[in-house]
Chains A and B, each alone.
Chain A
Amino acid sequence: MKECNPILSVKHLKKYYQISRSATLKAVDDVSFDIYPGETLGMVGESGCGKTTCGRTCVGLYGKTDGDVLYNGADVHTLQGSERFRFKREVQMVFQDPYGSLDPRMTVADIIGEGIDIHHLAKNKKERQEKIYHYLEQVGLNQEHASRFIHEFSGGQRQRISIARALVVEPKFIVLDEPISALDVSIQAQIVNLLVDLQKRMGLTYLFVAHDLSMVKHISDRVAVLYLGTLVELTSSAKLYDNPMHPYTQALLSAIPIPDPNVERERESQKIKLQCEVPSPINTKPGCRFQGRCQYAMPVCREKMPGLVDTGDSHFVACHLCSGEKKV
């Protein structure tokens, strides 16, 4: 997979918000990663870590402060004319809230058909209609649903409509921003299975943003862990669980309860318990963002922000412990 060129390449992306004259919120601070065609990159972190901002900046919904987002080699934020038009078709997004992201005054057919109209994907009305029906069936709904309004649907069905809307323009890359966190457990599994199935059939690439690490690990090939706007670890999902290297990832993994009482009881004694809470991302101090809560914090952590280092086998970690400063 690594031989081909990345479909999306994020380089030193920064997104700052000037809150007042003296206060800057660093929502995304120097984040770099690549996404390869056909893979799913999961992005996890606690609330306020900048994962949604990062996802939205990647598709050009937000402007950037610094850095580059390259889609097939072209800078997303400076695309013009037909290039930009094509980018807007090939990159789609599914939002978290299925209640807020669909227009209540449009029928399902209009919501899905809007993309077809804008991008002139249908020659005539009949083809448009057929396309809408086709994609409704693709996401597990049927033709009868086309003439209905959004308020007639449950959360899970609405999320399916969101997915159909994204799919109808035949995208290559979809940013899924917490697509399942507003849904019930049994419905979550339905949507995740649908996403995996669609990816297999249509060769899609996903950026899957979520806070639920078990679900992210389940769906992703590689996982990026964010903490307070910085990327702390990036590796394949199997390795992330077997061999987490960043102290934050280790703590995050041990904080997630596993639905199995015996396993939970065994883990109880080995759990790494983080003290205190996530500090504010406004006017952060220099040095590692995690050092205040880190049990291995060293003097160097307070002075210098660790860079993302490849520890071998494409396992990227941003921690002074792993970059050869000192081993514990």
Chain B
Amino acid sequence: MESEKRQIDTSVLRVEDLRVSYHTYAGEVQAVRGVSFHVDKGEALAIVGESGCGKSVTAKSVMGLIKPPQGEVKKGSAIYFQEENILNYNKQQWQQYKGGKCSIIFQDALAALNPTMRIGKQIMENLQIHKRMSKKQAAAEAVEMLRRVGIPEPEKRARQYPFELSGGMRQRVMIAIAFACDPPLLICDEPTTALDVTIQGQILDIIKDLQKEKNTSVVMITHDLGVVANIAQRIAVMYCGMIVETGLAEDIFYRPKHPYTWALIRSVPRLDLENKQELATIPGTPPDLLSPPKGCPFSTRCTFCMPVCLERMPEQTPFEEGHTAACWLHHPIAPETPVPVLKGGAAHEGM
């Protein structure tokens, strides 16, 4: 598996230079500004970032949910699903893609489910359209899916409406719908944020089990580093509409190369460490996406900010095993690079 990682033909999803903007009264909000990543077969990629960094918009574009005229996927963006650019799909291809080949689990299951439809029917809908099952077959399969995601008395539950279920149960139903047609790609947009921790653990386990069983590729969008550590093999860290660092989970957690990743990891308290130690903070707030900074988006909050950071956008610097970081500190001609400080692993101190 390790050697196959780099080969492009194994990737289920490949996003290249994705740019998405929203047109609002205040002006053009550049929500995603040139994002590229790929997801291999059976792999879980986590996209981490604070709110407003464009992670959900990225997920929505992959699912084809950016609606004109407000939303606009810019020219030059490409999203390859099994080597086909989905942005060139026609209506029929889109129908086959959504739900059949790619599914999404939203944060707010109550808003995502149809409140006027019984749960069973919402699962059946998918099966009837994409797998062309008869009504009877689909009904049986829907009950089976509900049982698979750990809902007690699935026959009874299938006849209930979303409002009759608790938050955790609704999220299970969402998972059942998403996995109904065995899609090769699943996008989870903050699936556990609204849930309690004990329920969060259950939901993550179900997603992991089903992923392993069906060899699904998962894109997990979250802001919770704990969830990321639990589920992801690879991580992409987003900031201000861009991916600032990407790499294997171990590389990101133990050998972060970007000052933002580094600060982010150190700013969350850990259960297994001493309490009341000072948490690392990132001063200030993320920049406004209406008028994003010319240079590195993190420059205004970065402790290692150099003059060049304010002027020019850093390139992605590659490291071993597909680990890349966009930071001027890693440029070969960066004159007074405090790399030792970074490499010396402030992150290691925290470990």
Residues in chain A within 8 A of chain B (CB atoms): 46-47, 154, 156, 184-190, 192-193, 196, 211, 213-215, 217-220, 237-238, 241, 251-264, 271, 273-274, 276-278
Q: Are B281 and A256 neighbours in the complex by a CB distance under 8 Å?
A: no
A258 to B196 Cα, complex, angstroms: 15
A-B contact pairs, 17 of them (CB 8 A): A154-B285, A185-B223, A185-B264, A186-B282, A193-B278, A213-B271, A214-B270, A217-B269, A218-B279, A251-B198, A252-B198, A257-B230, A259-B226, A261-B229, A264-B226, A271-B201, A277-B166
Report if A256-B253 is in contact (Cβ < 8 Å); known contacts: A186-B267, A218-B269, A220-B275.
no
> B311 at the A/B interface (Cβ < 8 Å)?
no
Residues of A near B230 (CB, < 8 A) are 257, 264
A184 to B222 Cα, complex, angstroms: 12
A241 to B250 Cα, complex, angstroms: 25
**Which chain B residue shows the least CB distance to A236?**
B275
**Which chain A residue shows the least CB distance to B282?**
A186
A263 to B226 Cα, complex, angstroms: 11
Q: Are B276 and A218 neighbours in the complex by a CB distance under 8 Å?
A: yes
A264 to B208 Cα, complex, angstroms: 14
Shortest beta-carbon contacts, A-B, top 10 = A257-B226, A218-B269, A259-B225, A46-B196, A189-B267, A189-B279, A186-B282, A255-B201, A257-B230, A184-B50
Q: Are A273 and B275 neighbours in the complex by a CB distance under 8 Å?
A: no
Interface residues of B in 18-40 (CB under 8 A from A): none
Residues of B near A260 (CB, < 8 A) are 229, 253, 270, 351
Q: Are A189 and B268 neighbours in the complex by a CB distance under 8 Å?
A: yes
A184 to B272 Cα, complex, angstroms: 22
| Residues 251-283 of chain B, each 1 if its beta carbon lies under 8 Å from chain A, else 0 | 001000000000111011111101111111111
Residues of A near B168 (CB, < 8 A) are 277
Name A253's contact: one of B263, B269, B271 (CB within 8 Å). B271
Report if A256-B226 is in contact (Cβ < 8 Å); known contacts: A274-B198, A276-B152, A277-B199.
yes
> B51 at the A/B interface (Cβ < 8 Å)?
yes
Residues of B near A189 (CB, < 8 A) are 267-268, 279-282
Name B201's contact: one of A187, A219, A238, A273 (CB within 8 Å). A273
Q: Are A252 and B197 neighbours in the complex by a CB distance under 8 Å?
A: yes
Residues of B near A278 (CB, < 8 A) are 196, 198
> B205 at the A/B interface (Cβ < 8 Å)?
yes
Residues of B near A271 (CB, < 8 A) are 201
Q: Are B202 and A213 neighbours in the complex by a CB distance under 8 Å?
A: no
Q: Are A274 and B202 neighbours in the complex by a CB distance under 8 Å?
A: yes
Residues of B near A261 (CB, < 8 A) are 229, 232, 249-250, 253
Q: Are A258 and B272 neighbours in the complex by a CB distance under 8 Å?
A: yes
Residues of A near B221 (CB, < 8 A) are none
**Which chain B residue shows the least CB distance to A255?**
B201
Residues of B near A219 (CB, < 8 A) are 275-276
> B224 at the A/B interface (Cβ < 8 Å)?
yes
A279 to B200 Cα, complex, angstroms: 16
**Which chain B residue shows the least CB distance to A280?**
B166
A156 to B232 Cα, complex, angstroms: 29
How far does the Cβ of A219 sit from chain B's closest Cβ, in whole Å? 7
**Which chain A residue shows the least CB distance to B168?**
A277
Q: Are A185 and B268 neighbours in the complex by a CB distance under 8 Å?
A: yes
**Which chain A residue shows the least CB distance to B53?**
A184
How far does the Cβ of B95 sit from chain A's closest Cβ, in whole Å? 35
Q: Are B275 and A188 neighbours in the complex by a CB distance under 8 Å?
A: no
A132 to B99 Cα, complex, angstroms: 56
Q: Are A238 and B196 neighbours in the complex by a CB distance under 8 Å?
A: no
**Which chain A residue shows the least CB distance to B274?**
A238
Residues of A near B275 (CB, < 8 A) are 217-220, 237-238
Name A211's contact: one of B197, B268, B272 (CB within 8 Å). B197
How far does the Cβ of B31 sit from chain A's closest Cβ, in whole Å? 16
How far does the Cβ of A26 sit from chain B's closest Cβ, in whole Å? 19
Q: Are A186 and B50 neighbours in the complex by a CB distance under 8 Å?
A: yes
Residues of A near B283 (CB, < 8 A) are 190
> B173 at the A/B interface (Cβ < 8 Å)?
no
Residues of A near B79 (CB, < 8 A) are none
A277 to B50 Cα, complex, angstroms: 29
Report if A185-B50 is in contact (Cβ < 8 Å); known contacts: A258-B226, A271-B201.
yes
Residues of A near B110 (CB, < 8 A) are none
A188 to B268 Cα, complex, angstroms: 8
Residues of B near A253 (CB, < 8 A) are 271
